[in-house]
Amino acid sequence: MARQDEEVKLLGFLMSPIVKRMEWALKLKGVEYEYVEEDIFNKSPMLLELHPAHKEVSVLVHGDKVIVESLLILEYVDETRKQCPLLPRHPYHKAMVRFWASVSEDE
């Protein structure tokens, strides 16, 4: 991403479609990452430390940077890896994608 040699970890839950979206984006962008499965009923100390506000997945760790919330993670990945853009270039189309992504996130 910003530095290709920095370790990337994704904390997720196997059954979460939102976490699957993060995995697809990372794979599309060619980002090598370590997947860390979280038990959402018995949260690990790492998850509680990395996401103190909501204490939930998804969490992306890139080197010493922690990004939480799936839409913010997608934006971060898209902005730090320019190949295979996740969003269209046109501002209107980009706004529509962001709108529908936020609707699906709230469902």
pLDDT tens for each residue of 77-96: 999 998 889 989 899 999 99
What's the pLDDT at 4?
Answer: 62
Express each pLDDT in 17-55 by its tens digit: 889 989 999 999 999 999 999 998 999 999 999 988 888
d(CA 13, CA 35): 10
Strand 8-12: give its sheet, edge to edge: 34-37, 8-12, 59-62, 65-68
Q: pLDDT digit string (tens) for 61-79?
A: 999 999 998 889 999 999 9
pTM for this structure? 0.82
